[in-house]
């Protein structure tokens, strides 16, 4: 094959008028013009042959070209070259350039190197003569196709110009290449078959071996014709026959393979036009499956045709014998195209059933189809309770009561017996029947951790039937958090006593003390360690161990004053825990004086406060209370508020004398709220109520609520839950701007600034569930708020009987070499029925699983499976802790992909049953970031109009105190369709508001504590999904950045995550994580490693010039870069399966 050469004609002035033949020095002919031109440079490309014969008789033709340009200094002209696979090409790029201004000392520089090869500058053996310099292009090993690079020329006046060199690398003429199938299009008329010569535009690679139909057409048939030569597929065609009366678009996929087993697939798109003749309606039989006692909706029209007259009606021709069939017109009674049929089997029936239906065209012509329904029998456990795993959190040495029954399905019976079938490993547990031994619905389990234990524990509990046989079992997971340092040491509190002169007293000094989490020692308490038994005033003290010398918990101290002494005497005592830690307190004895009037029991007095809209208020509840003295211990919350949250501020004095309470109203709430607090000490306790008026601006507020109306009465009954699978919408004063609102609790507040403003209120179901749920409440129009009150508007949601679950994989932390990281599996039951199924988690092959928060998993070679049960609208989370290997097994920038799938029978919307997360291995990291689950590159052809982008925004409190409120703002790029946003998950309760493209999340009163290393404490996140707008194309980049506000601090700006749509994932994209180079930066030796054999390593400077190159035949190697000047270089590593470019620093 010719490498292609270029010839320049300078100063040649042809005359125009006839077509002549100009020849180059080798005798090649070029057509030129005959008209005179002045002041022009004329360039002509000559080829030694005008046709290049390529593999399988494909011909690439070239024409001689004349390129005209105005004479100017430093004018670089684009070049073209051809070479064979694995053959270098010498390209004289200066030959057609204008350098009339003279040459600089170094006239050629590479501005942008080629993507599939290397270039080297050559002085042609004459270093002082730059005019004959050329470039040698060497294609990458075995590459064929098109490559380009850009060079720059500089004249003597330092004027520069750039041009592009295009290189065509032709494939070898025999052997080695796979077949290539190219998509085809064909057209035919209704009811007319068409023969398609699909091989006409395909390349066979090695000898063609076979043709097959991979994916049949939906509205017709496709048959391969072997033309009577079954052993020779090269003349095969495919005949497509449309279904009777069908017209429109159809397609099928075929595959060709060669004798080496290489294959290639392509799609044939068919366009079937109407023939203009009458076509009768056509009905195709259908098959459906459902469970016993469960209806099924059947889209019978999907494979039917109403013929040329158009749609008329759908009707039931004959009812089933063992059930009923009802037509659903989906709100369009005049349009049968969206009609479906719901079949409901008779109670307890299982087996086959059939019915027939009839379709008519607009002229009344009819066609009949049959539907066969297979009703699957109930599993034997259908009437048994469903137990769902539980999670609880407690502190070290602190019991916790778990309401395990709350999320279980008792299937209408409360006579089951709750029992602990596998006790915890690091504690003990008991069942509480709450005084109703025959009613399991209020039973709880109290778990008490072993002393000083912290970590994760679990227990199995079961429901027992009348024969005490376990019929449902679940696991309760308990996370026991470590004590703060002061909780594992004893605490001694000062005491006091008042006695008459010469009168002894027994003082119970331990009544207000604590031995801490380690428990008491095995000896008595001690007094006056530095002056045993004798006080400063000559009094005598002794310890009374109450006959239990090894148990100090019942010890008291006997004080005997010195004779005839009055006044104040003081002594100290010390308590010791099991670990030897000690605490000392002082006892003050008043001898012969009156009782201190301050030493009285505590009395709590009610309080009233007022605060503004969305404004926290700190309340000094102790200011009007009495008995806050040396015997006072503190305050606690007895009953929480209904429309806000409260926290106790200890002000770094745990004794409680200056404790206050902060109240934070729910976002948007105005009106009356209250809570109850308790004060307590050694002399007693008391309660008081705090009444809070949230007045806002006096204009009131509007609260929106959505609930699942199980009985369809339009009223939210006590047992009916909030519905969170949708969005609220409101428009103010009919201004055309509709604001979307989402709340994790189902309650969304609108603050009103002007009482004259009117609001239109509505609610919509999320896209995936819109066909199964209906907003039964009509929109509210022209609503106004009641001043100083919260006006409530509820939306009742009704639903059909269906089954749907969804699963999301959420990146909780980022992978770093040598560290662990966490993914969270969040799965949710979208239906009003209990469901059971299987989760399957698969991890990236390079990582290993350290632990899983869920018990009962079954480990597999690539992850684990878990059989789950969920109650109606139930949600569960599973945390997976994974280990990342160290460098060089991984490299910074490698991609890790984990996946999870969920399966239940008869899932109505399986498109939400799979989730994947691709994360980049990083070094140090910013804990506040935004990521997208697909990774940075998405293959354009795999991303359809039904797909979403899944963004996760993570935030972390790196401060030293709790973050009380967090706000996240996210301005969407113009390429994202803001109307499609849906919330997926969040770490804490939130409200989200969308105004056009601006998103705002508020985590009010989140009280996010400071972060703890290697724990989830201090971390938060939110995940949402959104679609790009239609028209996104290959090469489009969608950026996304968020601002995170902690309380009143300035915004923390996250990284910008760029999503790039690409045509294909190149070899480097798919496999480059198998290749790595280290250390980086380096002073000398750069080590190379890979999972497959490495072929070569090439080092480029930033001008694209090759400065080092080394062949390597093995999985590991090295290249010495010590001779290179300090700076930044690009290193390209190539193996037979992968290719990777890495930027290194030489220092």
Q: For position 978, what pLDDT does the model report? A: 93
Q: Are 501 and 436 in contact (CB under 8 A)?
A: no
Q: If you count DSSP H runs as helices and E runs as strands, how many of each does the chain have, helices first?
A: 1, 83
Give which of 1143, 1139, 1142 is closest to 1071, Cα–Cα. Answer: 1139
Q: For position 1104, what pLDDT does the model report? A: 60
pLDDT: which is higher, 1015 or 731:
731
Q: Give the Cβ contact number of residue 383 at 10 Å.
A: 11
Give which of 32, 29, 36 is closest to 18, Cα–Cα. Answer: 32
Tokens encoding 121: 């500058």
* 690/705 Cα distance (integer angstroms): 26
pLDDT: which is higher, 21 or 500:
500
pLDDT over 50 (residue 491): yes
Partner residues linked to 169 by β-bridges:
83, 145
Q: Give the Cβ contact number of residue 930 at 10 Å.
A: 18
Partner residues linked to 75 by β-bridges:
98
Cα-Cα-Cα-Cα torsion 627, 629, 631, 635, nearest 10 degrees, comes to 70
Of the candidate ranges 31-35, 313-317, 609-613, the one whose mean pLDDT is the lowest: 31-35
Partner residues linked to 725 by β-bridges:
none
Q: For position 217, what pLDDT does the model report? A: 92
Sorted by sequence, the CB contacts under 8 Å of residue 105 that are 6+ apart come out as 130
Q: What is the 3-state secondary structure (H, E, C) of 1016-1046?
A: CCCEEEEEEEEEECCCCCCCCEEEECEEEEE
CA atoms within 13 A on the CB side of 341: 31
pLDDT over 50 (residue 32): no
pLDDT over 60 (residue 31): no
Q: For position 625, what pLDDT does the model report? A: 84
Q: For position 614, what pLDDT does the model report? A: 76
Give pLDDT tens digits for 393-421.
888 888 999 999 988 888 767 788 899 98
In DSSP notation, 1053-1119 reads E-PPEEEEEESS--HHHHHGGGEEEESSSBSSEEEEEEEEEEEEEEEE-TTS-EEEEEEEEEEEEEE
Of the candidate ranges 392-406, 527-541, 746-760, the one whose mean pLDDT is the lowest: 527-541
Percent of the chain with pLDDT strictly greater than 70: 85
Tokens encoding 778: 């009509």
* 1085/1076 Cα distance (integer angstroms): 14
Q: Tokens 């106790």 map to which residue?
A: 648
Give pLDDT tens digits for 1100-1118.
875 567 788 888 877 788 8
pLDDT over 60 (residue 917): yes
Q: Which of 146-150, 245-249, 354-358, 1089-1093 has the highest mean pLDDT?
A: 354-358
Q: Are 978 and 994 in contact (CB under 8 A)?
A: yes
* 1073/1093 Cα distance (integer angstroms): 14
Domains of the chain as residue ranges with CATH: 7-170 (2.60.40.10), 184-273 (2.60.40.10), 286-376 (2.60.40.10), 392-481 (2.60.40), 485-591 (2.60.40.10), 607-629+644-694 (2.60.40), 701-799 (2.60.40.10), 801-925 (2.60.40.1510), 926-1065 (2.60.40.740), 1074-1146 (2.60.40.3080)
Sorted by sequence, the CB contacts under 8 Å of residue 1040 that are 6+ apart come out as 930, 932, 951, 970, 972, 973, 976, 1056, 1057, 1059
Tokens encoding 246: 């069908």
Q: For position 754, what pLDDT does the model report? A: 85
Q: For position 14, what pLDDT does the model report? A: 37
Q: Give the Cβ contact number of residue 493 at 10 Å.
A: 19
* 636/661 Cα distance (integer angstroms): 9
pLDDT over 70 (residue 19): no
Q: What is the 3-state secondary structure (H, E, C) of 890-910?
A: CCCCCEEEEEEEEECCCCCCH
Q: Are 972 and 1040 in contact (CB under 8 A)?
A: yes
Q: For position 206, what pLDDT does the model report? A: 55
Q: Which of 110-119, 155-164, 902-911, 1127-1136 has the highest mean pLDDT?
A: 110-119
Per-residue CA distances from 206 to 256, 300, 1132 (Å): 11, 46, 31
In DSSP notation, 364-428 reads --EEEEEEEEEEEPPPGGGGS-B---EEEEEETT--EEE-GGGGSB-TT----EEEEEE--SSEE
Give which of 828, 706, 833 is closest to 768, Cα–Cα. Answer: 828
* Confidence class for position 240, pLDDT limits 50, 70, 90: very high
Three-state SS for 1138? coil
Give which of 771, 766, 874, 866 is closest to 827, Cα–Cα. Answer: 874
Q: What is the mean pLDDT of residues 302-321?
A: 88
* Confidence class for position 928, pLDDT limits 50, 70, 90: confident
Q: For position 652, what pLDDT does the model report? A: 62
Q: For position 44, what pLDDT does the model report? A: 34
Q: For position 808, what pLDDT does the model report? A: 92
Q: Which of 86-100, 1069-1083, 1102-1116 has the highest mean pLDDT?
A: 86-100
* Confidence class for position 124, pLDDT limits 50, 70, 90: confident
pLDDT: which is higher, 489 or 250:
250
Distance of CA 840 to the CA centre of its chain: 17
pLDDT over 70 (residue 36): no
Q: Give the Cβ contact number of residue 818 at 10 Å.
A: 11
Q: For position 926, what pLDDT does the model report? A: 60
Q: Are 300 and 371 in contact (CB under 8 A)?
A: yes
Helix (H) or strand (E) run with residue 231 in it = none
β 684-694/607-611 pair status: parallel
Q: Are 619 and 607 in contact (CB under 8 A)?
A: yes
Q: Are 240 and 287 in contact (CB under 8 A)?
A: no
Give pLDDT tens digits for 551-577.
899 999 998 888 878 777 888 889 988
Helix (H) or strand (E) run with residue 738 in it = strand 738-743
How high is the mean pLDDT of the chain?
81
* Confidence class for position 502, pLDDT limits 50, 70, 90: confident
Q: For position 1117, what pLDDT does the model report? A: 84
* Confidence class for position 778, pLDDT limits 50, 70, 90: very high
Q: For position 901, what pLDDT does the model report? A: 92
Is the torsion defined by CA of 240, 246, 249, 253 positive or negative?
A: negative
Q: Which of 22-36, 332-346, 536-550 has the highest mean pLDDT?
A: 332-346
* 175/55 Cα distance (integer angstroms): 10
Q: For position 951, what pLDDT does the model report? A: 95
Of the candidate ranges 115-124, 379-388, 831-840, the one whose mean pLDDT is the lowest: 379-388
* Confidence class for position 101, pLDDT limits 50, 70, 90: low
Q: What is the mean pLDDT of residues 29-43?
A: 36
pLDDT over 60 (residue 486): no
Sorted by sequence, the CB contacts under 8 Å of residue 305 that are 6+ apart come out as 243, 244, 245, 246, 279, 281, 282
Give which of 933, 927, 905, 894 is closest to 809, Cα–Cα. Answer: 933
**In whole angstroms, how large is the CA radius of gyration of the chain?**
40
Q: For position 483, what pLDDT does the model report? A: 63
* 476/820 Cα distance (integer angstroms): 25
Q: For position 1094, what pLDDT does the model report? A: 84
Q: For position 169, what pLDDT does the model report? A: 86
pLDDT over 80 (residue 699): no
Q: How much is the pTM? A: 0.41
pLDDT: which is higher, 696 or 1087:
1087
Q: For position 11, what pLDDT does the model report? A: 35
Q: Determine the Cα angle at 887 with ends 882 and 893, to 5°.
A: 75
Q: What is the mean pLDDT of residues 508-512?
A: 87
Q: What is the mean pLDDT of residues 661-678?
A: 84
* 661/617 Cα distance (integer angstroms): 8
Q: What is the mean pLDDT of residues 862-872?
A: 92
Q: For position 682, what pLDDT does the model report? A: 66
* Confidence class for position 827, pLDDT limits 50, 70, 90: very high
* 492/718 Cα distance (integer angstroms): 47
Give which of 31, 39, 42, 34 is closest to 15, Cα–Cα. Answer: 34
Three-state SS for 152? strand
Q: Are 589 and 570 in contact (CB under 8 A)?
A: yes
Q: For position 981, what pLDDT does the model report? A: 94
N residues, the chain:
1147
Percent of the chain with pLDDT strictly greater than 90: 26
């Amino acid at each position: 094959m010719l490498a292609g050469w270029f010839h320049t004609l300078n100063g040649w002035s042809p005359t125009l008028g006839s077509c002549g033949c100009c020849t180059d020095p080798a005798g090649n002919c070029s057509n030129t013009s005959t008209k005179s031109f002045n002041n022009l440079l004329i360039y002509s490309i000559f080829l030694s042959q005008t046709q290049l014969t390529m593999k399988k008789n494909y011909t690439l033709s070239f024409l001689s070209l004349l390129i005209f340009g105005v004479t100017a200094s430093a004018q670089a002209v684009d070049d073209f070259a051809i070479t064979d696979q694995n053959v270098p090409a010498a390209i004289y790029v200066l030959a057609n350039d204008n350098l009339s201004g003279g040459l600089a000392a170094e006239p050629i520089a590479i501005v942008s190197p080629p993507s599939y090869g290397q270039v080297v500058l050559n002085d042609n053996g004459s270093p002082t003569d730059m005019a004959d310099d050329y470039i040698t292009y060497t294609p990458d090993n075995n590459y064929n196709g098109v490559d380009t690079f850009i060079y720059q020329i500089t004249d003597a006046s330092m004027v520069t110009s750039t041009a592009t060199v295009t290189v065509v690398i032709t494939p070898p003429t025999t052997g080695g290449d796979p077949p290539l199938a190219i998509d085809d299009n064909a057209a035919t008329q209704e009811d007319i078959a068409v023969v398609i010569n699909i091989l006409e535009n395909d390349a066979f690679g090695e000898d063609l071996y076979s043709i097959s139909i991979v994916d049949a057409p939906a509205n017709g048939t496709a048959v391969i014709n072997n033309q009577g030569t079954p052993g020779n597929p090269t003349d095969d065609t495919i005949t497509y026959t449309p279904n009777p009366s069908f017209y429109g678009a159809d397609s099928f996929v075929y595959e060709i393979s060669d004798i080496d087993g290489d294959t290639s697939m392509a799609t044939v798109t068919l366009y079937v036009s109407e023939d203009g003749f009458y076509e009768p309606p056509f009905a195709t039989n259908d098959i459906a499956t459902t469970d016993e006692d469960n209806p099924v909706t059947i889209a019978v029209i999907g494979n039917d045709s109403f013929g040329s007259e158009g749609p008329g009606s759908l009707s039931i021709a004959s009812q089933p014998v063992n059930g009923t069939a009802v037509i659903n017109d989906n709100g369009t009674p005049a349009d049968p195209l969206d009609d479906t049929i719901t079949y409901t089997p008779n109670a307890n029936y299982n087996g086959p059933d059939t019915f027939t239906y009839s379709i008519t065209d607009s002229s009344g012509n009819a066609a009949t189809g049959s539907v066969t329904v297979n009703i699957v029998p109930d599993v034997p456990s259908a009437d048994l309770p469903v137990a769902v795993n539980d999670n609880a959190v407690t502190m070290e040495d602190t019991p916790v009561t778990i309401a395990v029954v709350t999320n279980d399905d008792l299937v209408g019976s409360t006579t089951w017996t709750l029992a602990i079938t596998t006790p915890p490993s690091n504690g003990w547990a008991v069942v509480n029947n709450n005084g109703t031994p025959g009613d399991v619905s209020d039973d709880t389990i109290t778990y008490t951790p072993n002393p000083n234990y912290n970590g994760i524990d679990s227990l199995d509990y079961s429901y027992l039937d009348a024969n005490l046989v376990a019929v449902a079992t679940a696991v309760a997971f308990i996370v026991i958090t470590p004590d703060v340092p002061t909780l594992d040491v004893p605490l001694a509190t000062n005491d006091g006593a008042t006695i008459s002169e010469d009168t002894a007293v027994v003082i119970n000094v331990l009544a207000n003390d604590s031995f801490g989490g380690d428990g008491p020692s095995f000896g008595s308490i001690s007094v006056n360690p530095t002056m045993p038994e004798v006080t400063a005033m000559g009094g005598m003290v002794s310890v009374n161990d109450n006959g239990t010398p090894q148990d100090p918990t019942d010890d008291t101290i006997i004080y005997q004053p010195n004779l005839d002494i009055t006044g104040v005497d003081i002594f100290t005592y010390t308590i010791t825990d099991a670990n030897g830690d000690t605490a000392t307190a002082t006892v003050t004895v008043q001898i012969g004086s009156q009782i201190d009037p301050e030493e009285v029991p505590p009395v709590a007095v009610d309080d009233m406060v007022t605060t503004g809209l969305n404004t926290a208020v700190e309340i000094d509840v102790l200011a009007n209370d009495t008995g806050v003295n040396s015997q006072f211990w503190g305050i606690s919350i007895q009953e929480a508020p209904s429309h806000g949250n409260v926290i106790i501020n200890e002000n770094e004095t745990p004794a409680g004398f200056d404790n206050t309470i902060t109240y934070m109203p729910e976002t948007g709430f105005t009106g009356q709220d209250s809570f109850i607090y308790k004060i307590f000490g050694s002399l007693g306790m008391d309660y008081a109520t705090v009444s809070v008026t949230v007045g806002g601006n006096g204009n009131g507020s509007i609260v929106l609520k959505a609930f699942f109306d199980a009985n369809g009465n339009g009223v939210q009954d006590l047992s009916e839950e909030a519905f969170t699978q949708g969005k609220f919408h409101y428009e103010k004063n009919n201004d055309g701007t509709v604001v979307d609102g989402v709340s994790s609790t189902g309650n969304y507040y609108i603050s009103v600034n002007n009482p004259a403003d009117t609001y239109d209120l509505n609610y919509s179901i999320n896209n995936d569930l819109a066909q199964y749920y209906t907003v039964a409440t009509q929109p509210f129009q022209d609503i106004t708020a009641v001043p100083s009150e919260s006006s409530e508007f509820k939306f009742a949601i009704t639903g059909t009987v269906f089954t749907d679950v969804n699963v999301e994989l959420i990146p909780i932390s980022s992978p770093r070499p040598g560290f662990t990281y966490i993914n969270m599996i969040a799965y949710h039951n979208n239906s009003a029925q209990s469901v059971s199924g299987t989760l399957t988690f698969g991890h990236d092959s390079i990582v290993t699983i350290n632990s899983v928060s869920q018990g009962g998993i079954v480990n597999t070679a690539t992850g684990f499976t878990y059989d789950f049960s969920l109650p109606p609208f139930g949600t569960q989370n599973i945390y997976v802790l994974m280990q990342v290997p160290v460098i060089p097994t991984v490299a910074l920038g490698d991609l890790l992909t984990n996946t999870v799938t969920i399966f239940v029978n008869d899932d109505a919307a399986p498109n939400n049953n799979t989730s994947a997360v691709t994360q980049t291995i990083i070094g140090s990291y910013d804990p506040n970031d935004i990521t997208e689950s697909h990774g940075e590159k998405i293959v354009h052809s795999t991303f359809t109009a039904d797909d979403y982008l899944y963004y996760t925004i993570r935030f972390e409190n790196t401060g030293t105190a709790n973050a009380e409120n967090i706000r996240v703002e996210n301005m969407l790029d113009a390429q994202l369709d803001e109307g499609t946003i849906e919330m997926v998950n969040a770490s804490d309760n939130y409200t989200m508001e969308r105004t056009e493209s601006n998103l705002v999340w508020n985590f009010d009163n989140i009280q996010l504590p400071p972060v703890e290393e290697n724990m989830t404490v201090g971390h938060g996140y939110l995940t949402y999904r959104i679609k790009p707008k239609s028209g996104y194309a290959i090469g489009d980049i969608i950026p996304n950045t968020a601002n995170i506000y902690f309380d009143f601090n300035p915004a923390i700006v996250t990284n910008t995550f760029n999503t790039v749509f690409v045509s294909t994932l190149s070899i480097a994209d798919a496999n480059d994580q198998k290749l790595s180079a280290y250390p980086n930066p380096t002073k000398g030796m750069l080590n190379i490693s890979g999972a497959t054999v490495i072929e070569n390593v090439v080092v480029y400077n930033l001008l694209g010039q090759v400065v080092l190159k080394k062949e390597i035949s093995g999985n590991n190697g090295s290249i010495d870069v010590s001779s290179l000047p300090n700076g930044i270089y690009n290193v390209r590593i190539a193996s037979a399966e992968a290719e990777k470019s890495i930027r290194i620093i030489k220092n």
